[in-house]
Structure 1
Amino acid sequence: MKKLSGGMIALIFIVVAALLLGVWAVSSYNGLVGLREEVSGQSANIETQLQRRADLIPNLVSTVKGYAAHETEIMTELAEARSALVGAGNLAEKAEADAALSGALSRLLMVVENYPDLKADAQFTALMDELSGTENRIAVARKDYNDAAKTYNKKIKTFPSVIFANMFGFEGVEYFEAAAGSEAPPAVSFD
Structure 2
Amino acid sequence: MGIVILIIVLVVVVGLGVWLVASYNGLVKVKNRVESAWAQIEVQLNRRHDLIPNLVATVKGYAAHEGETLEKVISARNRAVAAETPGEQAQAEKEVSGALANVFALSEAYPDLKANQSFLALQSELTSSEDRVAYARQYYNDTVNTYNTKIASFPTVFMARAAGFGEREYFQAEGDARGPVSVEF
Please indicate, yes or no, whether the TM-score normalized by the shorter chain is above 0.5: yes
Counterpart for residue 136 of structure 1: 131
Counterpart for residue 23 of structure 1: 18
Describe the SS at the equivalent of 1:113: helix
Matches within 5 A, 1:1-191: 6-190=1-185
Mark the structure with the bigger radius of gyration: 1
TM-superposed deviation, 1:180: 3.3
Q: Hey, what's the Cα distance between the residues in 2 that align with 1:46 and 1:160?
A: 31
TM-score by length of structure 2 reads: 0.95
Q: Hey, what's the Cα distance between the residues in 1 that align with 2:183 and 2:171?
A: 27
The structure 1 segments of at least 4 consecutive aligned residues displaced by more than 2 Å after TM superposition are 179-190
Contact 2:98/2:183, CA 8 A, preserved across alignment: no
For structure 1, the residue ranges without an aligned partner over 5 or more in a row are 1-5
Structure richer in helix, relative to its length: 2
TM-superposed deviation, 1:179: 4.0
Q: Hey, what's the Cα distance between the residues in 2 that align with 1:189 and 1:178?
A: 21
The percent of aligned pairs where both chains have the same amino acid is: 48
Q: What amino acid is the match of 2:162?
A: M
Describe the SS at the equivalent of 2:175: coil
TM-score by length of structure 1 reads: 0.92
For structure 2, the residue ranges without an aligned partner over 5 or more in a row are none
RMSD of aligned residue pairs (Cα, Å): 1.3
